Structure 1
Amino acid sequence: MSFKNFKVVPKMIFGRGSFAQLDEVLAEERKRDDDFVVFLVDDVHQGKPLEGRVPLKAQDQLIWVNVDEEPTTKQVDSLTEQVQAHAGKTPVSVVGLGGGSTMDLAKAVSLMLTNPGGSAMYQGWDLIKNPAVHHIGIPTLSGTGAEASRTAVLCGPERKLGLNSDYTVFDQIIMDPELIKDVPTDQWFYTGMDCYIHCIESLEGTYLNEFSKAYGEKSLDLCREVYIDDHPEKDDKLMMASFMGGMSIAYSQVGACHALSYGLSYVLGYHHGIGNCIAFDVLEEFYPEGVKEFRQMMDKHNITLPKGICKDLPDETIAKMVKVAKSLGPLWHNVYGDGWEDKVTDELLTGLYRRI
């Protein structure tokens, strides 16, 4: 039997105010006067104080990215072309500053600068052949675990699927809890629940081992301190929960909720965080205790989910979502183990979607 030999982020800085060290970190990558850095920054920060704190040099490129919709392979290819046109040479680093979608875009662009063709070619597992440009992730929203993971999740022409590879992992992350303090409540909740749901799926899955369990249990405890106890250091705790939730699935896998959520995102355009919440709310038979606690958290923070969104959809729309959800074999294997194909039927998935 061979065990997974996975890569983790080699360098990380954690602490309040640590964003100020970004310039120092980038100085190590800048070897010549004309070396440039690309900053991909979520456009919610445009005109806000954080914009003035980005350590931009004259030769650098700052691109505001819009992530109102889920990131797409088309968006990645367009951003890659923008970077390639900037200076006729490759940047020494790509910095992603924002939530999970922005960090995934930064990961994907850093890969596509060194690998030929369009990004849709690389949706899958270990299809990337060449190492990425040096890339840095800085979360301004916590929960997805994108800062820790080996995937950049994209909606492509055929499906929603990640660029999963060892080369996808960030070379450096900077986790500064001060950067997540002003996130709107709904977004803070939905993104944090991505982390909570990661942990529930990982801890109740067939892939579970002591490595995943150690990270998953601690991450789950931190989520409870944030969303139930309202701990005074909740920003610091959520940031660590997100990182540890990402680590917990590195050696295991997510499950039924993420599979359904991918269908909601790909076909109906729901963002990953809210998509997870909508799907999780109908999964009592899979995760009874988790769903019960999730609903307590929703009540505490006055969160109201959309209801009945799939009830009256045409059969062909539901069939498209079923196809996406069913294609995620490793996730269902984590739910049912060997023989999952016999259990994950079109009828099962159609029934779950119709309840959403």
Structure 2
Amino acid sequence: MAQFRNFRMVNYVIFGRGSFDQLDEILAPNRKNGAPMVFFVDYFFEGKPLADRVPLKGNDKLIYIDVTHEPKTSYVDKLAKDLKEEFGTVSGIIGIGGGSVMDLAKAVSLMMTNEGSSADYQGWDLVKKPGVYKVGIPTLSGTGAEVSRTCVLTGPTKKLGMNSDYTPFDQIVLDPELTANAPANQRFYTGMDCYIHCVESLEGTYLNEFSKSYGEKALELCQEVFLEKDTWDEESDDKLMMASYAGGMSIAYSQVGVTHAVSYGLSYLLGTKHGIGNCIVMNHLEEYYPEGTAEFKKMVEKNNIDIPEGICKDLTDEQFDTMINVSLGMKALWENALGADWEKIMTREKLRKLYKRL
């Protein structure tokens, strides 16, 4: 008898320009016995108007999150430890920023209630207890972190998410106004994360009508924004935010593929940011996604974006082996991309040649 995944989704969603202003009202019933709400805000917003709009009450705390590097388990553990020492417990964690800030919010929420280190929970369904209340508020569109059941972390030995039914946010606030001032390059790299999610999901062996329905819509929205429109406007922000949501939903019941599996190795070894790492890899994947790669290159050209080249040219054999080990550890991604016999197709030598081209 077939086994179907019974996955949890985000409990509450609010969408619309200006919806961020309802955050105080949304949080009010979730405040517990004087315990604070803790706001993780991308340090990009320090000294900017958004920070002043955060609805701080009582002993609430605002922490500016450094996203220079991809989220590390050591950073998650330090944030959770500091909060426990200062407050004992908290009413909730609210992540305001891009995918890294939202992933940190999810991870710290879980580590407020689960023992040990976040590195202990890198994998599938290892988290034993629900975290504290958590809210995701994206200020960049594309990662799908607002709806996913994972929070991707770089640990001592691997880059892998805390994938569990306890990971999704309890509430998300989708306010396209918050993405209006994103730097053009960053907006493109993050938007391409969504586009690539869709290509990998729609061409994967795990594809089903659930993931196909969301993936096709998200792909269509990305094409409208990055190929058909000549100028960026409010409608672009609205569409890309919904593309991110739908793209995240698409991979909830399927999986990503070659691009993500390879970029995880780059991120682990070189600290390459997720969005740009995916773009660097996608630029060389004609063999696996011929149509998607060709269309991606059109988007790069139309939007006047430079994709870095030669980032692996000076690496040692040992460093290549490290990336290969991390990448080949993403078994579900490879199986989705290449099928059950993927290990016969993607050998270590073939993967090494691919990395050398990046």
Q: TM-score range by the shorter chain?
A: over 0.9
How many Å separate the matches in 2 of 1:85 and 1:35? 13
Structure 1 residue 66 and structure 2 residue 66: aligned? yes
| Secondary structure class of the residue paired with 1:312 | coil
Secondary structure, counterpart of 2:93 in structure 1: strand
SS in structure 2 at match of 1:130? coil
The answer for the alignment partner of 1:270 in structure 2 is 272
Q: Which residue of 1 aligns with 2:24?
A: 23
Deviations 1:302-338 (A, max 9, x none): 1111111113321111111111111100001001111
**Residues 88-140 of structure 1, C-alpha deviation per residue, up to 9 Å, x if partnerless?**
3x111110000000000000000000000010000000000001101000000
Matched, 1:227 2:226: yes
CA contact (8 A) 1:214 1:248 kept: yes
Contact 1:16 1:176 in 2 (8 A): yes
Tell me which residue corresponds to 2:124. 125
Residue in 1 that maps onto 2:300: 298
Name the structure 2 match of 1:101: 100
Matched, 1:48 2:70: no
Shift of 1:301: 1.1
Match of 2:77 in 1: 77
- The reply on whether 1:280 has 2:282 as its aligned counterpart is yes
**Counterpart-to-counterpart distance in 1, 2:323 and 2:35:** 45
**Counterpart residue identity of residue 148, structure 1:** V
How far 1:31 moved relative to its partner? 4.3
Kept in 2, the 8 Å contact 1:61–1:86? The answer is no
Q: 2:182 matched to 1:183? A: yes
Question: What's 1:110 paired with?
Answer: 109
| CA distance in 1 between partners of 2:42 and 2:205 (Å) | 36
2:356 is matched by which residue type in structure 1? R
2:179, 2:325 → 1: CA distance? 36
Q: In 2, distance between residues paired with 1:10 and 1:221?
A: 26
What residue identity is the alignment partner of 1:295? Answer: K
1:2 aligns with 2:3: yes
Cα shift readout 1:2-55 (whole Å, capped 9, x = no counterpart): 1010111110000000000100011011243x2310111111101000010000
- Once the 2 structures are TM-superposed, how far is the Cα of residue 85 of structure 1 from its aligned partner? 1.9
Give the letter for the 2:55 counterpart: P
1:27-42 aligned at under 5 Å gives the runs 27-32=28-33, 34-42=34-42
> d(CA) in 2 for partners of 1:87 and 1:71?
23
Letter in 1 for 2:50: L
Q: Which residue of 1 aligns with 2:150?
A: 151
* Residue in structure 2 matched with residue 204 of structure 1 by the alignment: 203
What residue identity is the alignment partner of 2:168? V
SS across alignment from 2:252: coil
Structure 1 gaps of 5+ residues are none
Tell me the alpha carbon deviations over residues 175-201 of structure 1, each in whole angstroms, 9 at most, x when there is no partner: 000000100011000000000000000
Question: Would the aligned equivalents of 2:35 and 2:87 in 1 still touch at CA under 8 Å?
Answer: no
User: What secondary structure does 2:74 align onto?
Assistant: helix
Helix, strand or coil: the match of 2:323?
Answer: helix
The count of residues paired between Structure 1 and Structure 2 equals: 354
Which aligned pairs between 1:237-252 and structure 2 lie closer than 5 A?
237-252=239-254
**Who is 2:214 aligned against?**
215
C-alpha distance in structure 2 between counterparts of 1:86 and 1:56, whole Å: 17
Equivalent pair of 2:150/2:167 in contact (CA under 8 Å):
yes
Q: Distance in 2 between matches of 1:30 and 1:309?
A: 47
Query: Aligned-pair distance for 1:341?
Result: 1.7
TM-score by length of 1: 0.98
SS at match of 2:30: coil
The Cα of 1:257 is off from its aligned counterpart by 0.3
Distance 1:153 1:30 in 2: 27
Kindly report the root-mean-square deviation, in angstroms, between the aligned alpha carbons of the 2 structures: 0.9
Aligned residue for 1:258, secondary structure, equals helix
Task: Give the AA of the match of 1:121.
Answer: D
CA distance in 1, matches of 2:151, 2:40: 14
Task: Decide whether the 8 Å contact of 2:197 with 2:256 is kept in 1.
Answer: yes
The secondary structure found in structure 2 opposite 1:138 is strand
Amino acid at match of 1:204: E
Q: Report if aligned partners of 1:206, 1:335 keep a CA contact under 8 Å in 2.
A: yes
- Give 1:58 deviation, angstroms: 2.5
Deviation at 1:281, TM superposition (A): 0.5
Amino acid at match of 1:263: G
How far 1:229 moved relative to its partner? 1.8
Deviations 1:219-260 (Å, cap 9, x if unpaired)?
A: 000001111122740000000000100000001000000000
The residue type equivalent to 1:63 in the other structure is: I
- Specify the code of the residue in structure 1 equivalent to 2:236: K
Gaps of 5+ in 2: none
Q: Does 1:261 align with 2:260?
A: no
Over 3 Å counting, the alpha-carbon distance change for 1:121 and 1:31 in structure 2 is closer
Aligned match of 1:307: 309
